[in-house]
Structures are given as C-alpha cells and as structure tokens.
Amino acid sequence: PIFQEQGMTETVHNWEDHGYLATYIKKNGSFANLRIHPHGLVLVDLQSYNDHMKGREEVDQLLNKVEERMKELFHGNIKRVKRLPAILRGGVIDRYWPTADGRLVEYDIDEVVYDEDSPFQNIKILHSKQFGNILILSGDVNLAESDLAYTQAIMGSGKEDYTGKEVLILGGGDGGILYEIVKLKPKMVTMVEISFDKQLIIHFNFLHPKYMRKTCGDVLDNLKGECYQVLIEDCIPVLKRYAKEGRMFDYVINDLTAVPISTSPEEDSTWEFLRLILDLSMKVLKQDGKYFTQGNCINLTDALTLYEEQLSRLYCPVEFSKETVCVPSYMELYP
C-alpha cells in the first residue's frame, strides 16, 4: 500500500522455492524492487531521478514508512535493518572510486577542478572537502594534497640522510617526492618521467602546481634547478644508459606503478616490467645504496608476497624491509 499510495503499479513474481519479487513502477520512471528470499532476507531497492534535495527527502520519507511497516508486519521480530546511503549515478561529479582490493569508496568530492586526456592517460584533479585536491590518473587515485605520509614513507620515513647524495626518482610525476628531497640538500636528484609529454608539461608546469601546490611546491615550475633535473624520457633506456656509463646512485626511488593486483606473472606484463625495473635499478645502485618503492593495499597479501619472491630472483642478493602507512585519500593501509 505504501508504494501504491505513490501511484506506483505493482507486479509480483513468485518463484515457489526461491521467494518473491515485487516491482513497483511510477509514471515518472521511478521504480522499486522488493525481493523476499526464503531464508528471511528482504531487500528493498528504490531508484528515482532527483537532482534536488527535496526529492531526496521524499525518498527518505518513503523508505522510513517501508521500514516501519516491515517492523509492524513482523511484530518486531526482525534481527537487523540496514539502510545503505543512496548511490548517486550519472552526476556531473563522480564521487565513487574503488580501492585496490575492489571496495567501493564514496569520496566527498564537490568540484571537478580539471579533466583532460593526454596521449598517455586521463588526468583528473578533483577537490575533496577532507583531502584537498586529488590527482587521479586513468581512474586510479594517485595522490592528494593530504597524502604527505605516502611521500615520506617512500623516502624512508625520515630515517635517511639525503645530504650530498645522488638520487634517482623513477616516475613521481606529481612532484611530491622531488619537492621533499630537494629540501634535504642532496647533491643531485634526477627524476625520469615519461608521461611528461608536451601536453603534460603544460598541465604540470602551469596547471598542476596551481592546484597541487601543497604537494609539489615550485619544483615543477622548471625542469631544472640547482640540485635537480627532470628528464622527459622512458626510464628503461635511461637506466640502461646509466648502467653502461657506470653511473651510480645512493638512492633509487621507484614511484612508477604499484604492485599488480594479478598474481599470475606469466599473464600480466606489469610483473615483467617490475622485474626489469628492479634488475636495472640494482645495476645503478651503489653497493650500500637503497631502493625504495610502493607496494599496494595491505589486503592484497598474495600479490605482496609474490613481489617479495621477485626480490630473491634478482641477479644480485638483496636484503629488504617493509613498512605500512595509512595514506589518507587511499582510505586503506599501504605497505
């Protein structure tokens, strides 16, 4: 009766041993599904087009009535009632971004700051009330202004002395690592970032610092500074060239890509890429040098274990340790 009072037409499907499905359709296109399972689970889904607050309040009032009616019908013998927040689909602002382990997160996005395609990837900068501006590359949350913890962790969590050291950064296009290391008076930092094509130079040298200034400071205003240089190249030929020349670094920081979710190295080319980067990096790393990289969501235990196995297959023996940090905008722990 509650749905019928809203002018919704009812259709009931009975699957005998599999329960019932009742659908309620309104002339304006709104509809509701009431699914009753034999074991006692009752699901109510309501879809409507409401682009104003009043319409959403009406939906909440309707669901309140349904909930109260269910409690009356079952005489209070309901173990649990759980109402999930509405999922807003088709809006101008996309608030939903998955975590690495496949959980759906709704961000408090209130503005699309930037959204363009480059030859390498889609670039979005979205503003979050909690996290500030968030850089999203091809659907992957890359870094937010709130995420200094990520940058500090991939630099060694404040335990390293970069004074007078030679540092190689692979990737790191958000500029955060470069910005923080330059403060520590290194001898020279070389950053190699392939996605700085001509279009992205404009994006990052003018737009990116403007909107991500808390992350990159002013280091991306120029591709060269007193103690740093940014090479717009593929890092693999650069690593091979450095290895041939015998150039060595005190630190190599790999910020290219996270550990793949896939646990089938023979089927995922990203694993082959990671192994190549690892081997080449070891060839340009000093005997007492250190290599830092990111892992992935801590729940991806199989993938993280597989990455550790790759370390035992390098051409030279290495020792490794790991640290887990909470990256605010990722909403997950990250080793």
* Token pair of 100 as six digits: 């690495």
Residue 61 host element (H or E): helix 53-73
Instruction: Give the model confidence (pLDDT) of 272-298 as tens digits.
Output: 888 899 999 999 999 999 999 999 899
Task: For residue 101, tell me if it sits in a domain.
Answer: no
How many helices and strands, by DSSP H and E, does the chain display?
10, 18
On the question of pLDDT at 87 being above 80, the answer is yes
On the question of pLDDT at 334 being above 60, the answer is yes
66 with 155, same domain: the answer is no
Task: For residue 87, tell me if it sits in a domain.
Answer: no
Q: pLDDT: is 268 or 328 the higher one? A: 328
- Could you say which DSSP state residue 324 is in? -
Instruction: Give the model confidence (pLDDT) of 198-232 as tens digits.
Output: 445 445 544 455 688 889 888 888 889 999 999 98
Contact of 290 with 253, CB cutoff 8 Å: no
Residue 41 has a pLDDT of 92
Distances from the Cα of 23 to the Cαs of 47, 131, 157, 203, 275, in angstroms? 11, 40, 55, 49, 53
Residue 206 has a pLDDT of 45
DSSP string, 234-282: -HHHHHHHHHHHT--EEEEEEES-PPPS-S-TTT-HHHHHHHHHHHHHH
CATH of the domain at 8: 3.30.160.110
* 335: nearest Cα among 97, 100, 98, 96: 100
DSSP three-state, residue 66: helix
Contacts of 106 (CB under 8 A, 6+ apart): 85, 87, 95, 96
Which percentage of the chain shows pLDDT scores above 70?
Answer: 91
Displacement of CA 32 from its chain's centroid (Å): 33
CA separation for the pair 154, 291 (Å, rounded): 9
Task: For residue 105, tell me if it sits in a domain.
Answer: no
160 with 291, same domain: the answer is yes
* 150-180 per-residue burial string, b: 16 or more CB within 10 A, e: under 16: bbebbbeeeebebeebbbbbbbbbbbbbbbb
Q: Which of 73, 90, 118 is the last residue of a domain?
A: 73
Per the listing, tokens 């279009």 go with 199
Task: For residue 289, tell me if it sits in a domain.
Answer: yes
Of the pLDDT bands very low, low, confident and very high (cuts 50, 70, 90), residue 100 is confident
Task: For residue 80, tell me if it sits in a domain.
Answer: no
Instruction: Give the model confidence (pLDDT) of 303-325 as tens digits.
Output: 899 889 888 888 888 999 999 99
Q: Which residues are catalytic?
A: 255
224 with 309, same domain: the answer is yes
Mean pLDDT estimate for the chain = 88
Of 13-27, 68-82, 168-182, 282-296, minimum mean pLDDT range: 68-82
Contact of 288 with 108, CB cutoff 8 Å: no
18 with 155, same domain: the answer is no
**Mean pLDDT on 239-252:** 97
- Could you say which DSSP state residue 221 is in? G
- Could you say which DSSP state residue 142 is in? E
Per the listing, tokens 């395609």 go with 117
CA separation for the pair 292, 169 (Å, rounded): 10
Q: pLDDT: is 249 or 102 the higher one? A: 249
Q: Which of 73, 89, 118 is the last residue of a domain?
A: 73
Residue 74 has a pLDDT of 82
Q: Which of 19, 38, 73 is the last residue of a domain?
A: 73
On the question of pLDDT at 55 being above 80, the answer is no
Per the listing, tokens 């990520």 go with 150
Residue 126 has a pLDDT of 94
180 with 35, same domain: the answer is no
**Mean pLDDT on 24-53:** 88
Domain span holding position 187: 148-334
Please tell me the number of Cα atoms within 13 Å of 170 on its side-chain side: 28
CATH of the domain at 325: 3.40.50.150
| Number of domains forming the structure of the chain | 2
Contact of 154 with 255, CB cutoff 8 Å: yes
On the question of pLDDT at 1 being above 80, the answer is yes
CA separation for the pair 64, 62 (Å, rounded): 5
Give the helix, strand, coil percentages of the chain, each rounded to 5. 30, 30, 40
Task: For residue 85, tell me if it sits in a domain.
Answer: no
Task: For residue 327, tell me if it sits in a domain.
Answer: yes
Residue 268 has a pLDDT of 59
283 with 152, same domain: the answer is yes
Contacts of 291 (CB under 8 A, 6+ apart): 251, 252, 253, 254, 278, 281, 282, 285, 318
Instruction: Give the model confidence (pLDDT) of 105-138 as tens digits.
Output: 999 999 999 888 877 778 889 999 999 999 888 8
